[in-house]
Structure 1
């Protein structure tokens, strides 16, 4: 009897959050998938609830949309790799080389940009990379040729790598902190060099942290549309920009939903791969 009451108590406790998740999150995804198979009447502009694959055919047949998808996925992957490379030295120092007080200070400094507006940080990079920006002023001062990164895919790569670096660094620090010092000491006692210890002990045990951080950096870059509008050029559209223009400008919600499904499929596939590397083991 007590067990039954306890079970129903757990059910009552879990029902509201799971009900909210089912109705508002999974329900909205279902409607999104459903609307991808509808179409817009060319004369009235109204959504016609007739089943069709025309939206997906257009995505496959039109080279423009394929290029947008390739650009989005490619830059998201490049940003993820870049952030892994940039995060490793600082994460290793924070996790294993400094005391608690300095560690806290460094972590606060890493998280500090997240407390400001993302728009302010993006516009700061526009001031840096602009034709008359800080970077060109510095290059002219030391006698080097000016750069023309502003409003290019290179600018997108730099800004994205800066914006999402903390999301890679934090999980990596956590993974490095969980590595027992006894394993590192044992490798040294057995004659391993510092590089061998890093390659055979530290790096493999930090892979789950890298995988977890990569889920954040890859997913948030993949779904972005504000940064490409403000930093990218004419050939820097992301999937999010196409979705935004189809919803807010042309009102073609079914096509926008179909293109959004590309994001969901890619993110879902990436999360499955990341799961194989232990990205969610600490969850």
Structure 2
């Protein structure tokens, strides 16, 4: 290998070979090392989605659960149409109504969580740094307990002999029927997903220099103007992230409507579970799951377009 002498330093300069030019940056692993991890991740993330999509275009066996590997779009047709014994097909709004009820439930949960979470996150962000850490810890404490345990705790609170009705009896008011109602299901969802709205908004506001708000006050701006022109634009990425983190699981929730609502209101999560369980109609249950995936995918695309046009980075993480 030829060398040359550097005119300024007098050091022999050795030209880099091809292997040296392709030297990896520090901390990076070669592809063969990460291939097993990628395969495992694909197996447990993409794999189930592929199975559900394949099952949604398969035929239903004459008896029992499972699928017959014959391509058909009947599960998707059954979502909007029904065929009677005479072979006549007509529009069937039943499943579409269930879909709409689920959207309404997810929308109400998201709206209430947003209204409650924004002032909480703003208040936490204006505290001292040490107190902020304590308050964020308190927000995350519910995650330390299993969801079923927390839901059963709400059942004890809302039942006929629970804390609320006991308090009403003490003041001479008649007891209320709270458990196994749509209201109980909605309360359970709001309680479950409220931290998912608080944390992203707090993350957006934590880095905000509130001296800018004070400067706006000094320049004569009103509180509503400061909130609309200064604070809200900074909190928008956190709000959008929180809306997605709350709406997506609330839309397809299953535990709260069953345990707290008593299954009195049929929602998309309960419908999918019944199709895989009682009805043994796996293709239709898979088709309903794919419909949910499509709706959530459209929401993610909309958020990505908003992020690109507004120039604000939106991260769906806590």
Q: Between Structure 1 and Structure 2, how many residues are aligned?
A: 282
Asked if 2 retains the 8 angstrom alpha-carbon contact of 1:246 and 1:253, the reply is yes
- Residue 212 (1) aligns with residue 241 (2): yes
Aligned to 2:314: 280
Match of 1:4 in 2: 22
- Aligned pairs (5 A) from 1:152-163: 152-163=181-192
Q: Do the aligned residues in 2 keep the contact of 1:210 with 1:279 (CA within 8 Å)?
A: no
More helix by share: 1
Give 1:36 shift.
0.4
Alignment partner, residue 13 of structure 2: none
Structure 2 residue aligned with 1:32: 52
Alpha-carbon distance, 1:10 to partner: 4.6
- The 3 A distance-change label for structure 1 pair 274 and 165 is same
C-alpha distance in 2, partners of 1:136/1:130? 8
Please point out which of 198, 219, 223 is paired with 1:194. Answer: 223
Q: How far apart are 1:228 and its partner, in Å?
A: 1.5
In structure 1, the gaps of 5 or more residues are none
- Among 152, 155, 163, the alignment partner of 1:134 is 163
Partner of 1:118: 147
Shift of 1:46: 5.3
Q: Residue 89 of structure 1 is aligned with which of 115, 119, 142?
A: 119
Please say if 1:74 is aligned against 2:111: no
User: Of 79, 99, 106, which residue of structure 2 is paired with 1:59?
Assistant: 79
Give the unaligned 5+ runs of structure 2. 1-17, 82-91
Contact 1:209-1:279 at 8 Å conserved across structures: no
Shift of 1:105: 1.8
8 Å CA contact 1:129–1:149 kept in 2: the answer is yes
Pick one of 108, 126, 132 that aligns with 1:103. Answer: 132
Q: Quote the Cα distance in structure 2 between the aligned partners of 1:74 and 1:133.
A: 28
Question: Offset of 1:45 from its aligned partner?
Answer: 5.1
8 Å Cα contact 1:168/1:216 also seen in 2: yes
- Aligned counterparts of 1:112 and 1:236: Cα–Cα separation in 2: 30
Measured in 2, the distance between the counterparts of 1:88 and 1:171 equals 10
SS in 2 for 1:39: coil
TM-score, normalized by length of structure 1?
Answer: 0.90
The answer to whether structure 1 residue 49 and structure 2 residue 69 are counterparts is yes
Alignment partner of 1:240 out of 269, 274, 279: 269
Take 1:272 and 1:258, find their aligned partners in 2: how far apart are those partners?
21
Larger Rg belongs to: 2
Distance 1:282 1:76, change over 3 A: closer
**RMSD in angstroms over aligned alpha carbons?**
2.3
Q: Scaled by the length of structure 2, what TM-score is found?
A: 0.80
Report the 3-state secondary structure (helix = DSSP H, G, I; strand = E; otherwise coil) of the residue aligned with 2:172.
coil
SS in 1 for 2:279: coil
Of 191, 214, 231, the match for 2:260 = 231
Aligned mates of 1:68, 1:252 — CA distance in 2: 17
Aligned to 1:249: 278
Asked if 1 retains the 8 angstrom alpha-carbon contact of 2:241 and 2:315, the reply is no
Residue 42 of structure 1 and its aligned partner are, at CA, apart by 1.7
* CA–CA distance in structure 1, aligned partners of residues 97 and 128 of structure 2: 48
